[in-house]
């Protein structure tokens, strides 16, 4: 028995036989050319492959018009847009002419150049968008080699797919009836293969290096999407354990599905507001199936291909209207551009090579410095508000005058567009210590606040959570962080203003107990955490939450706080949640 490990990208356990899908990038021809006739011949091959790729995408889009979600069709559109980008096919032709190499080799050169460019982007979501370009490149390589695409619709028996990657175009051919699981060599949590697997409820493990060359067709394997493990030719003991886990997981999922249409309530009937964050359009279909009070955080810089240029007013309006239309009438919270650090910095000369971008021109700072592009987004949001309720949220606020200036811009654009403000609320992110201690003054100017815990912890504790040397110091339950959260919630409640918390901490069960004990707050989290949160909170009551908040308030050191967190996890979480219980038993 061999065990391989990757990243568990979509929960569940799959047991079955392997079907290997080899990458078009395997064994491609590489050779030099000399004459002008040879160069022109290779260029013609590139142009023929371009046309064949476009025709294939058009065919898939036409065949799937009423089958696949609009967001997947949007990915096809981005493929077609990149086909016309000067950094792709024109660059391939340039490589052929300059390096005197064949078309396949030139394609690899261009993809390598683009890969290096995207590798410089720190943000994992934006960096992972290179996967889309590479998937498009693989389609082109298939056409250069004149190989047929494997049509997974022809499958007659259930299999576990093992491949280099799964593209959105491939997803049209995936039938969950015959696809037990997916294993890919590439991908991360935010890659399209992971998103698609979760959306289709197919167990998946991604990022397993060279797995397509390690396994053979028809090999019996077990895929564990929870742990990221793959067992080749498993022993009877492992099969028994995983079948047991599969049964438990299916039961757990059945319990979660029963909560889709239910409000989030504590055991004593107290209602808790949950909101779903939206990072990419693919999540809208999932969100629409579950009962939430709002879309709690729409990160606009993630919805557009910023490497292609800043989107215009009409493009943004179309996206915002689409979100409103598909959100079943619930309010949506749109965060204005949080550009800076790793996002969109190439458009603003002052952001290039900033010495300390985390403390530089970020969020509202860059927007107020470049009002021409900020006003474009404001107008799109205001126009969209005619179709539904929008909470407009300003990021990286540290001073009251930033809100005053933003309010003035909004008012000017409202008057210019002749749009009433009845469907617009204005708020800001509280994600720095500075904003925390002027939250009362800020609430004189705005309608709501949202606590951005990732940055608040990072700035408060002077810790870069992505720095492996200090990431252990990134501690959400530090007494200083808990006191700041209490201050923000208490003031917002006293002012009768809406307050939410977003970031990874919003889905932490222990933090939920503490915050509910402090006061009224909305938890804004990733869609895949919504049902788990409903299940956990329905088993605790208000008395427990108040007790937890009181106990945390009495902890004056980090050690005391950490000890109490561990006590709570053992007492409540491991006895309630499937994952902790299963790991404890096995």
Tens-digit pLDDT profile for residues 60-86: 666 655 445 545 555 666 676 777 767
- The token pair at 544 is 């427990």
C-alpha dist (Å) from residue 3 to 11, 203, 214, 244: 18, 17, 11, 19
Closest CA to 449 of 506, 395, 368: 395
Q: Diameter of the chain by CA atoms?
A: 83
pLDDT for 582: 40
Beta-strand pair 498-502/448-452? parallel
> Could you tell me the pLDDT band of residue 445, with boundaries at 50, 70 and 90?
very high
In angstroms, the Cα distances linking 504 to 60, 63, 454 are 36, 39, 7
Using alpha carbons, list the distances in angstroms from residue 69 to 61, 125, 126, 196, 284.
Answer: 11, 21, 22, 11, 9
pLDDT at 437: 94
**Three-state secondary structure call for residue 13:** strand
pLDDT surpassing 80 at residue 351: no
Task: Report residue 519's pLDDT band, with 50, 70 and 90 as the boundaries.
Answer: very high
Segment of 246-250, 487-491, 507-511 carrying the highest mean pLDDT: 487-491
Q: Which architecture characterizes domain 2-24+150-236 according to CATH?
A: 3-Layer(bba) Sandwich (3.50)
The reported pLDDT for the residue numbered 345 is 53
At residue 160, the 3 state secondary structure works out as strand
Tell me: pLDDT of 263 over 90.
Answer: yes
Helix 130-145 crosses helix 192-199 at what angle (to 10 degrees)? 100
Catalytic residue among 164, 192, 428, 545: 192
pLDDT number for residue 551: 94
For 193, phi then psi, to 5°, come to -60, -40
Give me the pLDDT at residue 580, please.
42
Select the more confidently predicted residue: 561 or 61.
Answer: 561
Selected catalytic residue, list 163, 367, 428, 502: 502
Please, are residues 91 and 144 in contact by the beta-carbon 8 Å criterion? Answer: no
**Using alpha carbons only, how large is the chain's radius of gyration in Å?**
26
- Annotated catalytic residue 502: yes
Q: Render 508-526 in DSSP notation, one character per residue.
A: -HHHHHHHHHH---EEEE-
The residue that leads in pLDDT, 77 or 55, is 55
pLDDT tens by residue, 268-284 = 999 999 999 887 676 78
Segment 558-564 shows an average pLDDT of 92
Q: Respond yes or no: is residue 370 known to be catalytic.
A: no
Kindly state the average pLDDT of the residues 3-8.
Answer: 90
Beta carbons within 10 angstroms of residue 75's beta carbon: 23
Q: Does the reported pTM lie above 0.85?
A: no
pLDDT in tens, 383-409: 999 999 999 999 999 999 999 999 999
For the chain, what are the domain ranges?
2-24+150-236, 36-145, 262-585
Confidence of residue 250 (pLDDT cuts 50, 70, 90): confident
- Give, in words, the CATH class of 262-585: alpha beta
The structure tokens 């410095």 sit at 369
Residue 363: helix, strand or coil by DSSP? coil
At residue 577, the pLDDT reads 52
Predicted confidence band of residue 212 (pLDDT cuts 50, 70, 90)? confident
Q: How far apart, in Å, do the first and last CA atoms of the chain sit?
A: 19
Contact at 8 Å (CB) between 158 and 16? yes
Cα distances (angstroms) measured from residue 70 to each of 73, 278, 284, 297:
5, 15, 10, 20
421-441 mean pLDDT: 95
Average pLDDT value for residue range 484-499: 97
Displacement of CA 43 from its chain's centroid (Å): 38
Q: Name the architecture of domain 36-145.
A: Orthogonal Bundle (1.10)
Mean pLDDT for all residues in the chain: 84
Percent of the chain with pLDDT over 70: 83
Beta strands in 47-118 (DSSP E): none
* Phi, psi at 195, each rounded to 5°: -60, -45
* Residue the block writes with tokens 């046309």: 51
With H, G, I as helix, E, B as strand and everything else as coil, classify residue 208: coil
pLDDT of residue 72: 56
């Amino acid at each position: 028995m061999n065990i391989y490990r990757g990243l568990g990208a979509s929960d569940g356990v799959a047991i079955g036989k392997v079907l290997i899908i080899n990458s078009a990038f395997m064994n491609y021809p590489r050779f030099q050319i000399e004459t002008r006739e040879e160069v022109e011949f290779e260029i013609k091959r590139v142009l023929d492959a371009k046309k064949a790729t476009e025709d294939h995408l058009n065919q898939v889009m036409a065949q799937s018009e009423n089958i696949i979600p609009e967001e997947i069709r949007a990915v096809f559109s981005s493929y077609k847009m990149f086909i016309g980008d000067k950094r792709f096919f024109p660059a391939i032709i340039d490589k052929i002419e300059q390096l005197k190499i064949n078309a396949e080799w030139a394609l690899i050169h261009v993809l390598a150049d683009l890969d290096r460019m995207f590798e410089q982007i720190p943000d994992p979501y934006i960096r992972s968008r290179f996967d889309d370009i590479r998937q498009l490149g693989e389609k082109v390589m298939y056409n250069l080699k004149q190989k047929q695409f494997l049509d997974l619709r022809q499958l007659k028996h259930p299999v576990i797919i093992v491949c280099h990657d799964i593209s959105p175009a491939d997803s049209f051919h995936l039938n969950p009836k015959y696809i037990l699981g997916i294993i890919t060599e590439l991908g991360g949590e935010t890659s399209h293969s992971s998103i698609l697997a979760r959306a289709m409820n197919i167990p998946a493990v991604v990022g397993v290096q060279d797995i397509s060359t390690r396994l053979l067709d028809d090999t019996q394997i077990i895929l564990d999407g929870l742990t990221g493990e793959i067992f080749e030719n498993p022993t009877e003991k492992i099969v028994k354990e995983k079948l047991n886990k599969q049964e438990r997981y299916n039961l757990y999922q059945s319990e979660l599905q029963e909560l889709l249409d239910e409000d989030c309530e504590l055991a004593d009937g107290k209602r808790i507001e949950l909101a779903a964050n939206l990072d990419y359009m693919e999540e809208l279909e999932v969100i629409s199936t579950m009962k939430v009070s709002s879309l709690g955080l729409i990160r606009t810089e993630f919805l557009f291909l910023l490497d292609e240029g800043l989107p215009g007013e009409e493009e943004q309006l179309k996206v915002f209207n689409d979100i409103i239309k598909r959100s079943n009438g619930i309010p949506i919270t749109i965060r204005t551009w949080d550009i800076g650090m790793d996002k969109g910095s190439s458009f603003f000369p002052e952001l290039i090579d900033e010495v300390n971008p985390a403390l530089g021109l970020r969020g509202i700072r860059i927007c107020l410095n470049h009002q021409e592009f900020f006003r474009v987004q404001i107008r799109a949001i205001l126009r969209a508000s005619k179709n539904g309720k929008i909470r407009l949220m300003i990021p990286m606020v540290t001073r009251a005058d930033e809100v005053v200036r933003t309010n003035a811009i909004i008012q000017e654009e409202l008057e210019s567009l002749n749009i009433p403000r009845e469907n617009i609320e204005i708020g800001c992110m509280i994600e720095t210590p500075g904003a925390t201690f002027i939250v009362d003054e800020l609430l004189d100017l705005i309608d709501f606040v949202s606590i951005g815990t990732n940055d608040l912890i990072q700035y408060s504790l002077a810790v870069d959570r992505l720095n492996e040397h200090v990431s252990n110091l990134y501690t959400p339950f530090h007494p200083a962080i808990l006191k700041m959260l209490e201050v923000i919630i208490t003031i917002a409640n006293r002012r009768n203003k809406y307050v939410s918390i977003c970031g990874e901490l919003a889905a932490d069960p222990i933090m939920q107990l503490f915050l509910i004990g402090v006061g009224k707050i909305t938890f804004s989290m990733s869609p895949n955490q919504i049902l788990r949160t409903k299940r956990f909170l329905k088993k605790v009551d208000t008395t427990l939450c108040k007790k937890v908040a009181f106990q945390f308030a009495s902890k004056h050191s980090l050690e005391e706080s950490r000890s109490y967190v561990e006590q709570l996890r053992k007492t409540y979480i491991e006895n309630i949640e499937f994952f902790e219980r299963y790991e404890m038993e096995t």
